[in-house]
Amino acid sequence: MKFVDYVTITVRSGKGGSGSVSFRREKYAPKGGPDGGDGGEGGSISLVADTHLYTLLDHRYNRHHFAENGHSGSSNNKTGRDGENIVLKVPVGTVVKDSDTGAFLGELLQEGDTLVLAKGGRGGKGNTFFKSATNQTPRHAQPGEPGEERNITFELKLLADVGLVGFPNAGKSTLVSSLSAARPKVADYPFTTLEPSLGVVSMEDFQSFVIADIPGIIEGAAEGKGLGIQFLKHIERNAVLLFLIPITSEDPAAEYATLLSELESFNPEMLKKPRMVGLSKIDLVPQDIMTEMLDDARGSLPDDLEVLAFSSVARMELEPLKRALWAHVQRAHSYDIED
């Protein structure tokens, strides 16, 4: 399934139905008075968040949504039928904006969240509504109100508990496939991951957390270099950040500083997220120099930063990493509740 995280659509709600001008005319009531019914309301267009969706792909190929107009009122004070509403489903984490003004309209962050994009026009009043003591036979009714038409932009920002941050070929996709049932593309060359993917990591007592494999960041990503600028926004919604750095890196501290700088350039708020460092690919290091390399790497990184080493391919030290991530996720969510 192709991952689409940005799309623009056009929506138009239905016009309200016209009120009716009618008079009751029966055999024994030739002047029975007005009995024109009101028009029905035009159909509205709204959004609902669905946790079973992970992409905006459906909306890329279906960009125009026009709701039904309300039906006109009729005699015997019959109200016209309302136009049918349209409900569009989007993934949880979708941000909604007015395409023409750039105005923020809302975001859907939980299953079942709803947002009205275009409200249907109200139906017009029939001539019965205008009857009064001084006007017993009103001969006018209201037309229905027009609907709304607007261009809407959907922008999907993935909601995940843990976001993987690292340069291309740092081992992010391999880690996701090792910890979860997700099967992102894995290969030994940069930019293997061209779109984000999510994996669910199972814990005991039927608990779990979601980990996101974000395409690799390169230096200058925040200014548009490489693929990073397209996907840095997905890291904004992650509760915990895991910086992935291969143990074979020539300078782990410089790599970490570059990644941190790119996040700060894109959105300084991301530096407030809890983070830890994972030193990947330890299976590539000979055992006799493993301890020395780990000590050197840890020593070059900030003292207050939790650093764990592991190998996804050899499945070494994955359980401690998983438990450390789970602890960070639980703390992060407990802070959210308190706030």
pLDDT at residue 148 is higher than 60: yes
pLDDT at residue 77 is higher than 80: yes
- Under the banding of pLDDT at 50, 70 and 90, the label for residue 187 is very low
Q: How many other CB atoms sit within 10 Å of the CB of residue 263? A: 25
Amino acid 196: pLDDT: 64
pLDDT at residue 222 is higher than 50: no
Amino acid 5: pLDDT: 78
Per the model's pLDDT, the better-predicted residue between 130 and 338 turns out to be: 130
Amino acid 234: pLDDT: 75
pLDDT at residue 221 is higher than 60: no
**Parallel/antiparallel/unpaired status of strands 208-213 and 197-202:** antiparallel
Q: Which residue has the tokens 């409200």?
A: 119
pLDDT digits over 328-339, tens only?
Answer: 999 887 755 444
115, 105 Cβ separation under 8 angstroms: yes
What percentage of the chain reaches a pLDDT higher than 90? 45
Q: How many other CB atoms sit within 10 Å of the CB of residue 241? A: 22
Amino acid 72: pLDDT: 96
pLDDT at residue 212 is higher than 50: yes
What CATH topology corresponds to 6-156? Spo0b-associated Gtp-binding Protein; Chain: A, (2.70.210)
- Under the banding of pLDDT at 50, 70 and 90, the label for residue 326 is very high
pLDDT at residue 193 is higher than 60: no
Q: How many other CB atoms sit within 10 Å of the CB of residue 295? A: 10
pLDDT at residue 217 is higher than 70: no
pLDDT digits over 149-162, tens only?
Answer: 999 999 887 778 89
Per the model's pLDDT, the better-predicted residue between 63 and 262 turns out to be: 63
pLDDT digits over 250-272, tens only?
Answer: 899 999 998 888 888 888 888 88
Amino acid 224: pLDDT: 45
Asked if the domains at 6-156 and 162-338 fall in one CATH topology, the answer is no
**Domains of the chain, residue spans:** 6-156, 162-338
> CA dist 81 to 24, 74, 84, 146, Å?
21, 10, 9, 16
Q: What is the second-level CATH architecture of the domain 162-338?
A: 3-Layer(aba) Sandwich (3.40)
pLDDT at residue 239 is higher than 70: yes
Q: How many whole angstroms from its chain centre is CA 85?
A: 22
pLDDT at residue 2 is higher than 80: no
| pLDDT (mean) for 203-208 | 84
Q: Residue type at 76?
A: N
pLDDT at residue 87 is higher than 90: yes
**Parallel/antiparallel/unpaired status of strands 197-202 and 149-156:** unpaired
Rg, C-alpha atoms of the chain:
29
Q: What is the mean pLDDT of the chain?
A: 85
- Under the banding of pLDDT at 50, 70 and 90, the label for residue 219 is low
